[in-house]
Amino acid sequence: MTTLAHGISPEWLEALGWTLLHFVWQGAALAALFAVANTLCRQATTRYALAVIALVLMMAAPVVTFTRLMRQKDPAVRYGAPGAFALAGKPVQGVSVTARPSAPAPEIPVSQHSGLLWCVEAWFFGVVVLSLRTAGGLLVIERMRRKELEPVGRELYLQCIALQLKMGFERAIRYCECDRLEAPAAFGWIRPVVLLPVRALSGLTEDQIEAVIAHELAHIRRLDCFVNLFQIGVETLLFYHPAVWWVSQRIRTEREHCCDDEAVGVCGDAVNYARALTLMEEWRTSPSLVMAANRSPLSQRVVRLLGLDGAAGRFRVAGMAVAVACLAGAMLAGNVFLGVARAALGSKTSAAQTPSGLTITQEQGSGSAIVVRPAKASTYAKSFASTAQAGQDKDKDKGQKANGQTANKESYLDAMEAAGFKNLSADELIAMKVQGVTPAYVREIHDLGMKPTPEEFIGMRVEGITPEYIREMRSIAPNPNIDELMGMKVQGITPQYANEMRGLGLEADPENLVGMKVQGITPQYVNEMRGLGLKTDTDDLIGMKVQGITPEYVKGMQALGFKPDTEELIGLKVQGVTPEYVRRMQATGLRPDGENLIGMKIQGITPEYVKSMQDAGFKNLDIDELIGAKVQGITPEFIEKARKQGFQNLTLDKLMALKEAGVDF
């Protein structure tokens, strides 16, 4: 039979097969121990270190097992020989080996060797397939590095260098743009590269970009690429055990948590960083050998960043119990496997347990014979149960403290449900917690007869609307709704401002208050305008303020003999009629009123135009004639050209007739 393991000696193949089978219980036991330790830790860095240690032990366990099995093998043992059973080591003088009829020596079936060979064959095949997959990933990254990367712009490069120095390390790092990826990522062991995709650069704010770059730099500073490479190697060699994949996934998760903590520590805004992660969740495409900022479960990372991971504590006690049960089962299975393997490979000890539950002991008496008897029951399970109970008692205080912390976080959820919010989404819960919407605040608002939605509660809290503010504004404005309250608060309308405006006889409803506040209308402005003889209501005040009519403007127009009302003042100001314009028109001998000024300004009649027409011989034109001449496009230049063509005694009517006839000189 041609096999992938062709050329390896049978002794090695059988030892390797038993090693792979032993790792079934060893991996389960190590994973259970890690799960127990993990439930007792709160820091991401500690959990990460425990996960890495667990994976290292998982890699070391098969090596140690294989070495011990090879040392225990006896050259006299022949695989598949019926009744093959011997003691290892040198024979003892005066001691003979016998077996009582009631305890026959176990036989190793011929099919056992073939079964182990098939296990090794399957293992070899899986290792080859996963190795090819890893090699393909390396080729993809190398191709991407050679053909798809472009250096970032100088401004962004300087920002990255400044961030790198801020994080306290000066290693040479390349910063490149990449179209293949959708989120910032890092790869490379000797020459690290940080990839900044165009989509991320254009879709994130500057602060968010800085945070995700800090996340990637944290990966490089922590040398996570080497741990990631080790993980891939362990996953390739021990691919058949689910515990390996679980522990490896925990490493990746806690690694992202550690880098998230560093990114928040550098940038100082967990909420903004969480929003960046949420946005990048839809962009997730990156090779497994590349460490991207949007890896690891998004919801878990966001909830953890915002300090809302209280729900996780609900399962810690259950997780501890499951882990302890798995550990006990793994130890019992290991006990059985050890007995079976020793019987198959031969033992060097004077008392070895066989697969059928027999022990070899030296019986005292005549002949000093070695006899085979049933083995005593294993005490591993009892010992472990005692140890697990002691561990639980020892960690009781820590568990109570952790449960206290969880209870505090659960109380927020319970209180919000008691306040009427029983179906909050994760985004709503996070936003309300971040903005400080407490159950007490919700109850106070509800007591005022208002039922805001979660979004409205968030808006009210952001704008600083308190129950006291609502009560005070209700005493002034008739029952303002939530939108009106937020509008007034945004514009800085205080109860004092509303009372002063109402005291001046103005309508103090929310809409008018917001309009006046937006335009900067103060009680002083109202008093000054009224002191100048203007009758003003809310709309008049807003209209004048929009057009920039100041008390000084009104005084300037009144000093020139004008007594405009509010509407006329607004019309003059809209057309750009200033006191200076009026003075210059009056200097030409004209005495326009407010309506004339508006018409002249609309047609673009300037003092210079009036003076040029007067110099052209039209000294007695009134305002209506000037406006008509301007409308027809009669200019001093047109008059001069007409005269050069021989037209004499030109009147304004003749000039307008020439213009209407389309005569062009």
Residues whose CB falls within 8 Å of the CB of residue 208, separated by 6 or more in sequence, listed in order: 272, 273, 275, 276, 279
pLDDT tens column, 148-191:
777 888 888 888 888 888 888 777 888 888 777 767 788 777 78
Which helix H or strand E contains 202, and what residues bound it? helix 198-203
Query: For residue 443, what are the contacts with CB-CB under 8 A and spacing of at least 6?
Result: 419
pLDDT-derived band at 600 (thresholds 50, 70, 90) equals very high
- Give the single-character DSSP code of 371: E
Residue 454 has pLDDT above 50, yes or no: yes
Q: What is the Cα Rg of the chain in Å? A: 45
E strands along 13-135, which residues? none
pLDDT, mean of residues 263-280: 78
For position 318, what pLDDT does the model report?
52
| Contacting residues for 516 by C-beta, under 8 A, at least 6 apart | 501, 506, 538, 541, 542, 545
> What is residue 5's predicted lDDT score, i.e. its pLDDT?
52
Q: Is 614 a residue whose pLDDT tops 80?
A: yes
Q: Is 23 left (phi over 0), alpha (psi -120 to 50) or beta?
A: alpha
Q: What is the distance between the alpha carbons of residues 546 and 560, in angstroms, rounded to a whole number?
A: 23
pLDDT for 516 equals 93
pLDDT band for 292, please (50, 70, 90 cuts). Answer: low
- Quickly list H helices, 450-606: 454-463, 467-474, 482-490, 495-503, 510-518, 523-531, 538-546, 551-559, 566-574, 579-587, 594-602
Look at the block and give the residue holding tokens 């439930």: 39
Q: What would the two tokens of residue 88 be?
A: 């290892």
Residue for token pair 């007067």: 614
Pairing of strands 193-195, 174-177: parallel
- Tell me the β-bridge partners of 143: none
For residue 446, the surrounding DSSP H or E stretch is helix 439-447
Lowest mean per-residue pLDDT among 248-257, 319-328, 433-442 = 319-328
Give percent of the chain with pLDDT exceeding 70. 71
Please state, for a pLDDT cut of 90, what percent of the chain lies above it. Answer: 28
pLDDT tens digits for 21-73? Answer: 889 989 998 998 998 888 888 788 899 999 999 999 999 999 999 888 888 76
Cα 461 from Cα 485, distance rounded (Å): 12
Distance CA 38, CA 258 (A): 15
Residues 345 and 69 sit within 8 Å (Cβ to Cβ): yes
Look at residue 621 and give its three-state secondary structure. coil
Mean local confidence (pLDDT), 257-271: 84
Overall average pLDDT of the 331-344 stretch: 58
Q: What is the predicted pLDDT for the residue at 303?
A: 65
Which tokens go with 315? 């399962």
Residues 191-239 have pLDDT tens digits of 888 888 776 666 677 788 888 888 888 888 888 888 988 999 999 999 9
Better-predicted residue by pLDDT, 658 or 296: 658
Backbone φ, ψ for residue 295 (5° rounding)? -80, 170
Closest of 258, 265, 259, 256 to residue 295, by C-alpha: 256
Residues in the chain: 665
Compute the 3-state secondary structure of the chain and give helix, strand, coil in percent, each to the nearest 5. Answer: 65, 5, 30
Helix axes of 316-345 and 44-72: crossing angle, nearest 10 degrees:
10
Of residues 226 and 296, more confidently modeled: 226
Tokens of 188: 């490379």
**Phi, then psi, of 28 in degrees rounded to 5:** -65, -40
pLDDT of residue 94: 40
Averaged over 559-575, what is the pLDDT? 90
What's the count of helices (H) and strands (E) in the chain, helices before strands? 30, 7
- Model confidence over 484-532: pLDDT tens digits? 999 999 999 999 999 999 999 998 889 999 999 999 999 999 999 999 9
Determine contact, residues 450/424, Cβ cutoff 8 Å.
Answer: no
Residues 331-351, buried b or exposed e (16+ Cβ, 10 A)?
bebbeebbbbbbbbbbbeeee
What tokens were used for 15?
A: 């030892």
What predicted TM-score, i.e. pTM, was given to this entire model?
Answer: 0.46
* Distance from the first to the final alpha carbon of the chain: 113
Q: Which residue has the higher pLDDT, 537 or 407?
A: 537
pLDDT of amino acid 274 = 80
Band of pLDDT at residue 584, cut at 50, 70 and 90: very high
**DSSP 3-state of 374:** strand
Confidence of residue 129 (pLDDT cuts 50, 70, 90): very high
Over range 323-345, report the average pLDDT.
Answer: 59
Phi, psi for 616 (deg, rounded to 5): -80, 0
What does the pLDDT read at residue 281? 65
What's CA 656's distance to the chain center, in Å? 74
- Give residue for tokens 């040029």: 612
Spatial neighbors of 585 by CB under 8 A, at least 6 apart, are: 592, 597, 600, 607, 610
**Arithmetic mean of pLDDT over the chain:** 76
Instruction: Give the per-residue pLDDT at 8.
Output: 67
Give just the sign of the alpha carbon dihedral 415, 421, 426, 431. negative
- Higher-confidence residue of 392 and 242: namely 242
Where does the pLDDT of residue 291 fall: very low under 50, low under 70, confident under 90, or very high at 90 and above?
Answer: low
Q: How many CA atoms within 13 Å lie on the side-chain side of 75?
A: 2
Pick from 540, 539, 532, 489: nearest CA to 512: 539
pLDDT band at 306 (very low <50, low <70, confident <90, very high): low
Quote the CA–CA distance of 291 and 255 in Å, as a whole number: 10
